[in-house]
């Protein structure tokens, strides 16, 4: 019988287009299986909270870490996408040429990544905050003026939209391969945490669901937001849709911060309570992780090996 894990690593990753980003305590590595073989990119891990320690305090570090991960994740995704162009787009437009002249390649890349992050955050807010708030406002306007009913409808809409979005995305053909790389990332981390040699055979048999996954984080964000908004608007009823949205935006950093600390605690402990609390997020991974093939596992292993610190235990959770 396999021994229970006694080590939890802070190393985490992200699935890319035919590749994986792994992030350790000292550096991050991108490994992509390009048309001509494995492409590897290593770089030291620079965190803004290292320069400004206040940003590493509990409740504050959650939002900082989330935005930093999004920025680095989008950059890694763009790197992997460069090896799989869908079609020849021809010469750049005059506007693109003007931007390139004015900003240069590096600054233009930062601009594109920044805009991508803003658009991703904006889309998430629209889908999971603005639309449920607007629709629940219609319920209060035309059906009942009960604050309780509006809060229940708002909560139900958020969860339903999130579930529907995850299910629809998981059925997209191209995304299925990305989610298989996601599964390879989880399996490799489990193998490393169990102290096993990082081989395809050892990684293949590991679970594809991991308690410290980003999918679990997003799901818990939705749940915490539902709970916080229900309490706030029960104590301070606000009918105006725009006022409610404004209050929700002000509460968002707190919600992300609470969720981050919750996930850190649950991911770092193994007892009946934390295992129970982790189950909903683990269940959500049914939609975001697929079984990988051996080639995907090889990519994950290569990325993992590159970020394991030389000092044993430096990556302990």
The model's pLDDT over 254-282, given as tens digits with 9 standing for 90+, comes to: 999 999 999 888 877 888 888 888 888 88
| C-alpha to C-alpha distance for 162 and 170, rounded to whole angstroms | 12
Ranges of residues in the chain whose predicted pLDDT is under 50: 1-5, 88-89
| C-alpha to C-alpha distance for 140 and 151, rounded to whole angstroms | 10
Inter-CA distances, 122 with 67, 115, 126, 127, 128, Å = 13, 10, 6, 9, 10
Inter-CA distances, 29 with 139, 178, 259, Å = 49, 17, 26
- In this prediction the pTM is 0.85
Q: Please give the DSSP secondary-structure letter assigned to residue 55.
A: G
Kind plus residue range of the DSSP H or E element containing 191 = helix 173-193
Look at residue 89 in the predicted model and tell me its pLDDT: 44
Neighbouring C-beta atoms of residue 31, cutoff 10 Å:
26
Per DSSP, what are the bridge partners of residue 16?
19
Find the DSSP H helices in 9-130.
Answer: 48-51, 61-81, 94-125
| Backbone Cα Rg of the chain | 21
| C-alpha to C-alpha distance for 213 and 103, rounded to whole angstroms | 36
Kind plus residue range of the DSSP H or E element containing 284 = helix 272-284
List the Cα angle 313/38/46 in 5-degree steps: 45
| C-alpha to C-alpha distance for 33 and 184, rounded to whole angstroms | 14
Neighbouring C-beta atoms of residue 43, cutoff 10 Å:
11
Look at residue 19 in the predicted model and tell me its pLDDT: 95
Per-residue exposure over 156-173, b if at least 16 CB sit within 10 Å of its own CB, e if not: ebbbebbeeebeeeeeee
| C-alpha to C-alpha distance for 130 and 298, rounded to whole angstroms | 42
Task: Confirm if 309 and 26 have CB atoms less than 8 A apart.
Answer: yes
| C-alpha to C-alpha distance for 129 and 173, rounded to whole angstroms | 28
Burial of 22 (0-12, 13-18, 19+ CB in 10 A): buried
């Amino acid at each position: 019988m396999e021994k229970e894990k006694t080590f939890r690593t802070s190393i985490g990753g992200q699935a890319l287009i035919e590749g994986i980003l792994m992030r350790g305590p000292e550096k991050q590595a991108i490994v992509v299986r390009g048309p001509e073989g494995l492409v590897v990119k290593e770089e030291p891990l620079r965190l803004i909270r290292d320069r400004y320690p206040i940003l590493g305090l509990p409740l504050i570090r959650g939002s900082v870490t989330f935005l930093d991960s999004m920025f680095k994740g989008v950059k890694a995704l763009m790197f992997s996408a460069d090896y799989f162009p869908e079609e020849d787009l021809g010469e750049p437009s005059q506007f693109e040429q003007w931007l390139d002249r004015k900003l240069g390649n590096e600054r233009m890349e930062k601009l594109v990544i920044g805009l991508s992050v803003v658009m991703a955050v904006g889309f998430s807010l629209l889908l999971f905050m603005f639309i449920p708030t607007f629709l629940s406002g219609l319920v209060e306007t035309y059906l009942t003026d009960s604050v309780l009913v509006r809060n229940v409808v708002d909560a139900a809409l958020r969860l339903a939209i999130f579930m529907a979005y995850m299910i629809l995305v998981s059925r997209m053909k191209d995304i299925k391969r990305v989610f298989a790389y996601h599964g390879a990332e989880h399996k490799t981390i489990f193998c490393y945490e169990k102290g096993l040699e990082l081989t395809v055979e050892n990684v293949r048999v590991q679970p594809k669901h991991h308690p410290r996954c980003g999918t679990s984080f997003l799901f818990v964000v939705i749940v915490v937001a539902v709970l916080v908004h229900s309490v706030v608007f029960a104590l301070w009823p606000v009918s105006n849709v725009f006022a409610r949205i404004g209050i929700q935006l002000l509460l968002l950093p707190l919600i992300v911060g609470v969720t981050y600390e919750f996930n850190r605690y649950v991911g770092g402990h193994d007892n009946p309570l934390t295992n129970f609390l982790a189950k909903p997020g683990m269940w959500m991974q049914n939609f975001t992780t697929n079984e990988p093939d051996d080639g995907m596992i090889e990519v994950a292993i290569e990325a993992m090996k590159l970020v394991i610190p030389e000092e044993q235990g430096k990556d302990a959770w």
